[in-house]
Structure 1
Amino acid sequence: MKSKYLIVASALLISAATFAQKDQLKNAEKALKSGDAQGALTQLKDAENLIVNAKDVEQAQYYFIQGNSYLQLADKNIETGKNLSLSAESYKKLIDIENASGKQKYSTQAAASIAQIKGKLINAAIADTQANKSAEGAKKLYDAYQLDKKDTINLYYAASTSVNAQDYDAALPMYEELKKLNYSGKGTSYTALNKVSGSEDGFNTASERDLAVKLGTHEKPKTEAIPSKRGEIYKNLALILVQKGRSEDAKKAIADARKANPEDASLILTEANLYLESKDFDTYKKLVGEALQKEPNNADLVFNLGVISGNSKNNADAEKYYLKAIEINPNYTNAYLNLAALKLEAEKPIIDEMNKLGTSAKDMKRYDVLKAERESVFRGVIPYLKKANELDPKNEDVSKTLLGVYKALEMTAEAKALKATM
């Protein structure tokens, strides 16, 4: 008889717990509808221990209310990134429960909310980076990737943004995942100008873009090739590994990348730079030769070879590559800038020697020779600075440098005309 009473008592306890749980879910739903998301979460917290043994439909309802509550807080700009991520986690649990039970009550709404959260995370990440909060932005981009792993570009941007934040510990596993996925980002972009907003909108396909143009909402359609990002990915991966004292791992990462992507010339440049940093100049020169054989008319590749040569103080090779880049692309602004900067390096030793001279007749004679040499250096950079200024008139550093050269050469008319445009 005693055991019979215990069974009845136990049944009463379960029944009471079920009623309490349902009441808490109703109260949470009511609080949420009144705009009290925090109150809803408090009610759900009280039901947390009971929900584990609840029916599938009640578990799904619990996570649906929880997801909506976190989303409401995010919409009120309360710990936006954190609450968006928590909201998405709740919705994913809901979908898993309903998939397992075969009963789809909230999944469609949850999936739509997850897509909305992904967009909000990306927009919040853009706002973070614009506000110089790259670490926070990178976290949101990674969370967006976690919501939709097919959209791999968010992982790439999360890794790049982590590098901008100098958070290399966060960036390393992201780049390693990109390497594992053999991500390139290569493709084609389809854009058209929105007639209402004036912004350039992107489309998934050319047909979608062309339909928008046909409907009259957009104009000026453009189709552009998106270059491979593998070179940049492996370069950053290698540089992080080198910084962490893992040079051999860095070399292996590049070697693996080249085996997987033998036609990607940018990876050769990355490997060359790695050997340059380790002062293995023979291997560096060999790889430079390989890169040029594969893509002799790639202006970016040739320009980067100029940068690498300049960094290694091999100015003759740097000048050769910059001139070659200009030959391939006469409007390559950075090639003109770097060429001018390279030639201006010759001024420093001249100035150093001039400052050491005294006032003797011999020193004064030497001073005149050095002055003529300095003026020759300045005259030599004018064509490159003028072209760079023409191509990028908003670059104040270029115009100021050119103005300084004009003044040093006492080219008053030219200096006055340039200053009028600044």
Structure 2
Amino acid sequence: MKSKYVILASALLISVATFAQKDQIKSAEKALKSGDAQGALTILKDAENMVVNAKDVEQAQYYFVKGNAYLDLANKKVEEGKNLSSAAETYKKLIDVEKASGKVKFSTQAAASITEIKGKLINSAIADSQASKHADGAKKLYDAYLLDKKDTINLYYAASTAVNAQDFDLALPMYEELKKLNYSGKGTSFTAVNKISGNEDGFNNAKDRDLAVKLGTHEKPKTEAIPSKRGEIYKNLALILVQKGRSEDAKKAIADARKANPEDSSLILTEANLYLESKDYETYKKLVGEALQKDPNNADLVFNLGVISANAKNLADAEKYYLKAIEINPNYTNAYLNLAALKLEAEKPIIDEMNKLGTSAKDMKRYDVLKAQRENVFRGVIPYLKKANELDPKNEDVSKTLLGVYKALEMTAEAKALKATM
């Protein structure tokens, strides 16, 4: 007899718990509708331990209300990034529950909310980057990637943003994942200028872009090849590993990358730079020769060899490579800029010596010699700065540097003409 009463009592307890849980979900819904999202989450917190034993339909409703509460808080800018991620995770649990049960009630709306959250995370990450909050932006971009792993570009941007934040512990696993995925990012971009906003809009394909131009909403269509990002990815991965004292792991990462992508010549440069960092100059020279032999007319490759040589203080080689890049591509702006910067380095020792001179006749004579040398340096960079300014007139650093050179040489007419365009 006693055992029957025990069974009945247990059934009664389960029934009471179920009713209590339903009441809590309804109370949470009511609180959310009245604008108290935080209150709704507090109510649902009390039902958290019981939800695992609830019916599928009640579990789905619980996660739906909870996800909506998190999203509401995010929309009100309350710990936006954290609540967007929490909302997405909660909606994913809802979808899993309904998928397992075969009964779909909230999944469609939850999936739409996840898409909305992904867009909000990306926009919030962009705002973070503009405010120099790169670490926060990187985390949001990674969360956006986790919501849609097919959209691997968000993982790439997350890793790059983490590097901008100098948060290498955050960036390392992202780059390792990009390596595992063999991500390249290579493709084609289709853009056209929006006639109303004046901004350059992107399109998924040429057909959509051309239709917009035909309809008259856009103009100046442009199609550009997007180069592979593997070289940059492996370079950053290697540099992070080197910084962490894992040089051998870095070398292995580059070697693996080259085996997987034998046609990607930028990886040779990355490997060369790695051996340059470790002062293995023989291997470095060998790899540089291999890179040039593989792709002698690749302006980007030749330019990067110039950068590597300049970093190694091998100025003669750097100048040779920059000039070669210009020979291949006469409109290579950065090559002109770097050549000018390279030439201007000769000014520093001249200035240093001039500052040490006294007022004796001998010193004054030496001063005149040095002044003439300095003027020759300035005259030597004018052609490169003028070409760079012509190719990139909006670059303030170029125009200011060129203006400074004109003033130093007392080229008043040229300085006045340039200033009028700034």
TM-score bin, normalised by smaller chain: over 0.9
TM-superposed CA distance for 1:295, in Å, is: 2.0
List aligned pairs for 1:10-49, cutoff 5 A.
Answer: 10-49=10-49
Partner of 2:119: 119
Partner of 1:324: 324
Which range is displaced more, 54-63 or 221-230? 221-230
Confirm whether residue 86 of structure 1 aligns to residue 86 of structure 2. Answer: yes
Distance 1:349 1:194 in 2: 51
CA RMSD of aligned residues (A): 1.7
Aligned CA distance change for structure 1 residues 380 and 197 (closer, same or farther; 3 Å): closer
Partner of 1:54: 54
Partner of 2:194: 194
Partner of 1:67: 67
TM-superposed CA distance for 1:193, in Å, is: 3.1
Unaligned runs of 5+ in 2: none
Partner of 1:248: 248
Partner of 2:160: 160
Equivalences, count: 422
Which range is displaced more, 147-156 or 289-298? 289-298
TM-superposed CA distance for 1:49, in Å, is: 1.7
| 1:217-250 deviation per Cα after TM superposition (whole angstroms, max 9, x unaligned) | 4443322211100010001001100110111111
TM-superposed CA distance for 1:379, in Å, is: 1.4
Distance 1:398 1:248 in 2: 40
Letter paired with 2:254: I
Partner of 1:149: 149
Q: SS of the counterpart of 1:52?
A: helix
TM-superposed CA distance for 1:334, in Å, is: 1.7
Q: SS of the counterpart of 1:49?
A: coil
TM-superposed CA distance for 1:347, in Å, is: 2.0
TM-superposed CA distance for 1:140, in Å, is: 0.4
Partner of 1:133: 133
Q: SS of the counterpart of 1:166?
A: coil
Letter paired with 1:78: V
Distance 2:18 2:364 in 1: 101
Aligned CA distance change for structure 1 residues 190 and 400 (closer, same or farther; 3 Å): closer
Letter paired with 2:41: L
List aligned pairs for 1:373-388, cutoff 5 A.
Answer: 373-388=373-388
Partner of 2:171: 171
Distance 1:312 1:117 in 2: 46
Q: Percent identity?
A: 88
Distance 1:46 1:363 in 2: 86
Letter paired with 2:369: V
Distance 2:367 2:192 in 1: 61
Partner of 2:418: 418
Task: Tell me the TM-score normalised to structure 1 length.
Answer: 0.95
Confirm whether residue 180 of structure 1 aligns to residue 180 of structure 2. Answer: yes
TM-superposed CA distance for 1:360, in Å, is: 4.5
Distance 1:196 1:416 in 2: 35
Unaligned runs of 5+ in 1: none
**Structure 1 moving runs of 4+ over 6 Å:** none
Partner of 2:223: 223
Q: SS of the counterpart of 1:325?
A: helix
Aligned CA distance change for structure 1 residues 215 and 103 (closer, same or farther; 3 Å): farther
Which range is displaced more, 207-216 or 128-137? 207-216
